[in-house]
Amino acid sequence: MSDHEAKLSGIAHVAALRKEGRHAEAFQALVRLAQREDNAVLQARYARILSTLDQGVFKAMTPIRVAVLASSTDKFLRDVLGFWLALAGFNAVFFEAAYDTIAQTILAPDSKLYAFDPDIVWIFTTFRDVQIPRQWGRSREETCEDVDEVIRGYSSLWGVLQERCRAYIIQNNADLPPYRTLGNYDSVASWSHSSILRRYNSRLTEALKDGVMIFDLEYISAFFGKEKWFEFTHWYNSKIPFSLDAVGEVAHQAARLIAAIKGQAQKCLVLDLDNTLWGGVIADDGLGGIALGDGPVGEAFVDFQRYILELKERGVILAVCSKNDEEKAREPFLKHPDMRLKLEDISVFKANWGNKADNIKDIAHQLNIGLDAIVFVDDNPAERELVARFLPQVVVPVMPDDPSRYRQTLDHGRYFETIGISAEDGKRTEYYRSNMARDSARQDSCDLAGYLQSLEMEASVGIVDDFHLPRVVQLINKSNQFHLTTTRYGESVVKELAGDQDVICRHFSLKDKFGDNGLIAVVILKRAGDLEYVVDTWCMSCRVLARGMEEYICRTMIDLGLERGIRRIIGVYIPTAKNGLVADLYPRLGFTPIAPVAGGTMRWQLDLDRLPGKYETYIGTSKT
């Protein structure tokens, strides 16, 4: 039986489950069956089956509204994207745009796009949309001006979109075709097709602004293989813009990018040790016997470690989960000259004989992150199976036998997509490591008050200026657990709010004797009439949970309110699958309930004339 036939019979199994009304199981079977590499026929079938499953399957997923505006036929891509978004945890609804009407859809005064209220607008262009004359003798300046003209066109469309809706914009760059009339000279002449498209891609990146992100079609076409990607039979017949067999890859990568935009990319990489970070078994082979550094296999492991180190430097948290004696497991980190990863790169180090599902749960708990933020890498299929079975939220990539392919396998899952890097990202490991030190101090100290006091905490409160803006925006858009109202704002919106007389935006930082936690919380209060402020946004990093910051922030909001002569603060809680953590935050802080609003949203009020408590904390205010 060929791979294709095996998948078809897998689909028949899913269809049988559906027929018996076992929709949740059918979906789980689909999740296990589908791979991004699967051909177009299979992808279409996955999408079709998903569309027939009942709503219960989608209940736990995050709803998302997506508009794909394309200069080509996009229905096929839309269907398959819906499937891959479901795999990434989203229940997608799509806008039905007419074929090849990108500008009209965005510009028309009565465009239905805006009534649709999209979360994401994906402008799906290809190399065909960069129509610039390519003739011998055209000057470099003429070509560059033409390129900039095309980009100005898109840039002004982004502007209109951002004025008329709140959507995040994704814009394709150009996929360079594999045929070149000038051969190698195509990359030399400034007026050649290759040169024009390369310049277009680089200028497009420079033109990006807040709220707009590139979808790197040039990368995907090369990744998939240009000779296969550029398949024109279905372009000439049906205006399908790339080989349909690439549709799974395109949809997968787009779904991962959208997950990053919505703050749902993974955050933490949990690593096995033996045969994952080095070849062999440290307890059996000893320091000199493991494959690391010397020899072909040793080189492969060093390169894998280098890749992991780069992930850590851009903000991915690393943890170790290994079946080993702790002391033996630490030995290579301390003594092996070719270890690229050091103990200080690892936020939580678990080496014991317990089962890995329990250990990973512990890691998530210690780091205060959700299980769905974790990617677990282990060479051993039995360990992977155990974790996948008991912790289905954890992402468990199937690792290849050959360590030379580890790096690519991990990379191609696109788990750690990002739409921006802030200075805080590089420091994240430090924050979490000092948290570990705090936790062990907590275990040593018998009373909580004594422990909190011993931390010598100091907070600072600041207004949102240009310097703090990127981190503030990142926190609003990445927070899931401690985020009361699920708001997502781009830089321009936050900047506008910060300048509004009737809005109070504040950020909070916290340091203590173990280190600086950085900027860890943001609140946005909006005036509602003369006497009230509504807490529009309150999000906080979970790494400072339960240390008094909640009370400190509440006290700060009260003071800000009293200064402005208002009488009430209204707190809003919009429940999601992830923010159950803060369901009781407002009652805990002395707010009293107002009648619930439709859709599960809760409203609470705090009467500033009758404050219930003093909001005591062990946090001082630093003067900086």
Partner 1 sequence: MDMQDVIRQLNVVFGEVFDDDSLVIGPATTAEAIDEWDSLGHITLMLAVEKSFKIRFTTAEIAETKKPGQNVGSFARMIQQKCGDHGA
Distance set, CA 26 to CA 33, 50, 54 (Å): 10, 9, 11
- Residue burial 252-287, b: 16+ Cβ < 10 Å; e: rest: bbbbbbbbbbbbbbbbbbbbbbbbbbbbbebeeeee
Per CB under 8 A, the segment of 39-47, 177-185, 347-355, 495-503 that binds partner 1 is 39-47
Closest C-alpha among 298, 319, 336 to residue 373: 319
* 36 vs 45 by CB, closer to partner 1: 45
CB of 14 to partner 1, least distance (A): 11
- Residue burial 456-488, b: 16+ Cβ < 10 Å; e: rest: ebbbebeebeeebbbbbbbbbbbbbbbbbbbbb
Q: Which of 135, 237, 443, 501 binds partner 1 (CB under 8 A)?
A: 237
Q: Which of 104, 232, 344, 463 binds partner 1 (CB under 8 A)?
A: 232
Q: What are phi and psi of 488, to 5 degrees?
A: -130, 115
Q: What are phi and psi of 533, to 5 degrees?
A: -115, 140
13 sits near partner 1 (criterion: CB under 8 A): no
Closest C-alpha among 264, 171, 265, 254 to residue 220: 254
Q: Which of 76, 229, 278, 533 binds partner 1 (CB under 8 A)?
A: 76
Burial of 84 (0-12, 13-18, 19+ CB in 10 A): buried
Per CB under 8 A, the segment of 44-52, 56-64, 539-547, 605-613 that binds partner 1 is 44-52
Amino acid of residue 277? L
Residue count at the site for partner 1 (CB under 8 A)? 24
Q: Which of 236, 337, 382, 624 binds partner 1 (CB under 8 A)?
A: 236
44 sits near partner 1 (criterion: CB under 8 A): yes
CB of 470 to partner 1, least distance (A): 42
Q: Which of 11, 292, 484, 534 binds partner 1 (CB under 8 A)?
A: 11
Question: In this structure, what token pair is assigned to residue 561?
Answer: 């309110």
* 237 vs 443 by CB, closer to partner 1: 237
48 sits near partner 1 (criterion: CB under 8 A): yes
Reduced to 3 states (helix: H, G, I; strand: E, B; else coil), residue 321 is: strand
35 sits near partner 1 (criterion: CB under 8 A): no
Q: Which of 49, 113, 169, 311 binds partner 1 (CB under 8 A)?
A: 49
State the Cα–Cα distance between residues 535 and 523, nearest whole angstrom: 7
33 sits near partner 1 (criterion: CB under 8 A): no
3-state secondary structure 531-569: CEEEEEEEEECHHHCCCCHHHHHHHHHHHHHHHCCCCEE
* 44 vs 107 by CB, closer to partner 1: 44
228 sits near partner 1 (criterion: CB under 8 A): no
30 sits near partner 1 (criterion: CB under 8 A): no
Contact pattern from residue 430 through residue 469 relative to partner 1, giving x for each residue in contact according to CB under 8 A and a dash for the rest: ----------------------------------------
> Residues in the site for partner 1, rule: CB under 8 A?
4, 8, 11, 15, 39-41, 44-45, 48-49, 52, 73, 75-76, 79, 232-234, 236-238, 240, 244
